[in-house]
Amino acid sequence: MANLSGFVKRLRDIMRNDAGINGDAQRIEQIAWMLFLKVYDQKERDWEWDDENYVSIIPDECRWANWAHDDRTGRAMTGDRLLDFVNNTLFPTLKKLPVDASMPIKKAIVQTTFADANNYMKDGVLLRQVINVIDDLDLSDYEESHAFAEIYESILKELQSAGSAGEFYTPRAVTEFMAKMIDPKIGERMADFACGTGGFITSWLKELKKKVVTTDDDAEYSRSIYGIEKKQFPYMLCITNMLLHDLDVPQVFHDNSLLKDVLDYTDDDRFDVILMNPPYGGSEKADVKNHFPADLASSETADLFMSVIMYRLKRNGRAAVILPDGFLFGTDNAKINIKKKLLSEYNLHTVIRMPGSVFSPYTSITTNILFFDRTGPTEKTWFYRLDMPEGYKHFSKTKPMKLEHFAPALEWWNDRRPLEKDGFDKAKCFTAKQLSEELGYNFDQCGFPHEEEEILSPVDLIRRYEEERASLNAEIDRVLEEIKAKLGVKEL
Amino acid sequence: MTPQELKNSILQLAIQGKLVEQRPEEGTAEELYRQIQAEKQALIKAGKIKKEKPLPEITEDEKPFDIPESWKWVRLGSVFCLEMGQSPDGSSVSETANGIEFHQGKVFFGKKYLEQSPQKTSAPTKIVEPNSVLLCVRAPVGKVNIATRKICIGRGLCSVFPITGMSADFVYYLLATFETTFIRQATGTTFVAITGEVVKNQPIPLPPLSEQKRIVAKIEELLPLIDRYEKAWSRLEDFNKRFPGDMQRSILQMAIRGKLVEQRPEEGTGEELYRQIQKEKQALIKSGKIKKEKPLPEITEDEIPFDIPDSWKWVRWGELSQSIQYGFSAPARQNGRIKMVRISDIQDGSVAWDTVPYCEIAENDIDTYLLQPNDILFARTGGTVGKSYLVQEVPEEAIYAGYLIRTRYSSLLDPEYLKCFMGSQLYWNQLRNGTIATAQPNCNGKTLAKMILPLPPLAEQKRIVVKLEELLPLCERLK
């Protein structure tokens, strides 16, 4: 078994010397396509073993085993020759692989994964060194491949500190908590319509695995996930993640979930469970809004995703979604309508408020987990604030959030009672009527008392300011409309 | 549009007859006017009110705006019962007096209804009935309130009592629209006031009785909406006020967290810079130019508030600085050996050299306290304790006073980057020792030396400064 513990460090040390790699995000992207090919190569061997008639979609000279593997006889490509091969043969070939609708997913993913991939490295000798480190992995060994899945997770975690690439990654403590509370069952299908690196999918699988007993169960297990990811880089990371988790036919698609008319969804498009952390402040073309009913159309992507989730949740299905404070306190027209729909057609039973540094250093905005199901309208909603654990001033790269930090919330979950801390509400129940009529759909309850104002990054600050300004302006507009109505046709 | 402007606008609409429609079946104001006069005659006959001189006709010039046909311009005194207040004998007024509640002015005015005054008088002069509307005739002129109980009023107030079925609410809203008009007519220098004559003669528009009631109802329908407007508007105002400052703080924070500009490996690391600075310090200590100091404790995990780029390094100020020195204590003089800069001479980030006084000082002490460009001064006490100032130029020889601390440091550090740090939340938090934001900052040599800051390579410091110079002026424009 290769020495896995130094794997990431060795790669980092080699790649640091290549002028083409600028920053952590590019380094991870570079590792990603090579890992994908290595993992895929291992999978293909398994498939060839099971099926004599298996034919790879990858032409022979581009298969990892043929161009990447170094048998140490000196024949393996290196230096300029290797670079030339990768840039002028490998990539163009894989990008242009013929794929049609009838092609099985496990073959099609090669092309979809490579469609927008990039080779950043400029030094062929260093590239050879990196390839060898990766090739040393023995993924045919169950132990090693299992252990590597963990290493892979640690590579993904580095995204959280890699600038804007952090948007694809949700800390696993959070995904695991949400998967645990959603309580997967054999036979159910879950979806994540902005799956990023596949965190919710893997956490769901981890929870569901505990319930697998028979081979039929196993088959259901493998069919239980569905993901959509718009961006190339995380899509590639997610596919590799799926392969590492033994999902040979990952139902994960490279697509934009917001481009289909929500009113066109049928029961076939609906899922028993939805787990998501939708992107906020995303940039979409203005006509994306055309796919939504006018009263729900918003420029905020998180709002649009909430609508997609509501339209794609099966009757009696359940969902857990991470949303920023802006959604909770926002009262612009779209948000009010979305929240109205949420309370009147769905049962929003729990809102967990998380502390600010959960996603640090990517962002320090405060986020919340909304748990709801489609069993009927909301009668009451419990709010619970998860405080920073003892001894932590904030989470950071060296002191990340762990699943055990959710223990107080877990304990409270099954024995819900109102709580107060230092004079501020920590857990409280509100009826749907209170939330709608008295509080005007402002769900910002049991929030964090702002003793030490966390300084937001300028982008987050601007976003929050724009949210507040939009909400207040919307409120002002509403009042003025009512005033105008009461004045009749008179002019102010 | 401020909430007050909105409210005024609606009230103005009301008294111009444009808030609710006119209904011919409700009669005219002319009819109401005659009924009022008849009731007044009856009251005079019954000795309830004094006989009044008839008031002059209202001329066209006196009518400030058009009113509906069914309304009538009248003088205030002719349709209501006015009573100017009179102050009772001083000795009869106290909180324990056995008598009637007494109001001199608007001290106990509520939003609309009069609140309880603790003052009572045993010898009341002018008593007003419940349901009177009180108008302030002394500054602040024009404020109105409704009295719901019998009270005694002093010279500062005038009571306007509605009869013939008119309501106090209507009078209240009506008079509110004349506040500025009354203020304009106020005279006097020490005591700005309006006279009873002014109040009596004030032309006001009179609607028919039922229409008055409909106007009041409409206004009260709109008031809660105006409140909602005010709530949202005030919060928006607050946000707009806070935003530029928040933006500035956010940008400074980004800068010292290494997120403002990208890291470039060819520029080296904070660790390398740190070692160069230590070497420099050792050389200076050896040659006797600076004092050797006790080593500072290692920076612990707990002290570190946030992650910084791998190429940076957390350091203590004491490790970077060549000296941290308290100022020279001497009395300020008009003339003397040398200029001495005090905390009070530093305004808005620069020294007002013409206010800087002189002082006396021994010749061989001067060198220790002499100011040089790039020195950084800190106020160690007073209202601005903790505030720092980067010395940019010293037009004439000067030293610094006792309540300032001066720190000098290697030329391998960018002074503007340091200035950025001194403006950051990290700096202020450390001065307050991590206590709550309103605690007094504690600025002395020890706290300064212990203070931790993130150290980027020098070239990156310079790039950060350039970026800040681009961004910070934009924040100014937000204000």
- Scanning every residue of chain B, which has its alpha carbon at the shortest distance from the alpha carbon of A486? B222
Kindly tell me the number of DSSP H helices and DSSP E strands found in chain A: 18, 10
Interface test with A, best of B229, B252, B429, B435 (most A CBs within 10 A): B229
CA distance B47 to chain A (A): 44
> What is the rounded distance in angstroms from the CA atom of residue A374 to the CA atom of residue A86?
50
- Scanning every residue of chain A, which has its alpha carbon at the shortest distance from the alpha carbon of B12? A492
Q: What is the pLDDT of residue A1?
A: 43
Whether A490 sits inside 8 A of B13 (CB atoms) is yes
Whether A360 sits inside 8 A of B259 (CB atoms) is no
Whether B232 sits inside 8 A of A487 (CB atoms) is no
Tokens 């959710």 — which residue? Answer: A406
Determine the angle formed by the axes of helices A142-157 and A232-244, rounding to 10 degrees: 150
Say which of A361, A486, A487 has its CB closest to residue B307: A361
Q: What is the pLDDT of residue A292?
A: 94
- Scanning every residue of chain B, which has its alpha carbon at the shortest distance from the alpha carbon of A22? B264
Whether A472 sits inside 8 A of B239 (CB atoms) is yes
H/E/C letters for each residue in A359-371?
HCCCCCCCEEEEE
Burial of A107 (0-12, 13-18, 19+ CB in 10 A): middle
Q: What is the pLDDT of residue B439?
A: 65
Whether B251 sits inside 8 A of A396 (CB atoms) is no
> What is the rounded distance in angstroms from the CA atom of residue B160 to the CA atom of residue B146?
10
Q: Is residue A75 classed as helix, strand or coil in its secondary structure? A: coil
CA dihedral A431, A436, A440, A441 (to 10 degrees): 90
pLDDT < 70: residue spans in chain A: 1-3, 450-454, 489-492
| Residue length of chain B | 479
Interface size, chain A vs chain B, as Cβ–Cβ contacts under 8 Å: 89
- Scanning every residue of chain A, which has its alpha carbon at the shortest distance from the alpha carbon of B471? A458
> What is the rounded distance in angstroms from the CA atom of residue A199 to the CA atom of residue A352?
19
Say which of A398, A486, A490 has its CB closest to residue B18: A490
Which pTM was predicted? 0.74
Of A471, A63, A460, A46, the C-alpha closest to A281 is: A460
Q: Which residues of B touch A451 (CB under 8 A)?
A: 436-437
> What is the rounded distance in angstroms from the CA atom of residue B321 to the CA atom of residue A66?
59
Say which of B222, B226, B236 has its CB closest to residue A472: B236
Q: Which residues of B touch A473 (CB under 8 A)?
A: 236
CA distance A478 to chain B (A): 9
Say which of B239, B250, B425 has its CB closest to residue A469: B239
pLDDT tens for each residue of chain B, 479 residues long: 889 988 998 999 999 998 999 999 999 999 999 999 999 999 999 988 888 888 899 998 888 899 999 999 999 999 999 999 998 888 888 888 888 999 988 889 999 999 999 889 988 888 999 999 999 999 899 999 999 999 999 999 999 999 999 999 999 999 999 999 999 898 888 878 999 999 999 999 999 999 999 999 999 999 999 999 998 899 899 888 888 888 888 899 999 999 889 888 889 999 999 999 999 999 999 998 888 888 899 998 888 888 888 899 999 999 999 999 999 998 988 888 999 999 888 887 788 888 899 999 999 989 899 999 999 999 988 778 888 999 988 898 999 998 999 999 999 999 999 999 998 989 988 888 755 556 667 788 888 999 999 999 999 999 999 999 999 888 888 87
- Scanning every residue of chain B, which has its alpha carbon at the shortest distance from the alpha carbon of A476? B229
Amino acid at B308: I
Whether A161 sits inside 8 A of B305 (CB atoms) is no
Q: What is the CA radius of gyration of chain B?
A: 36
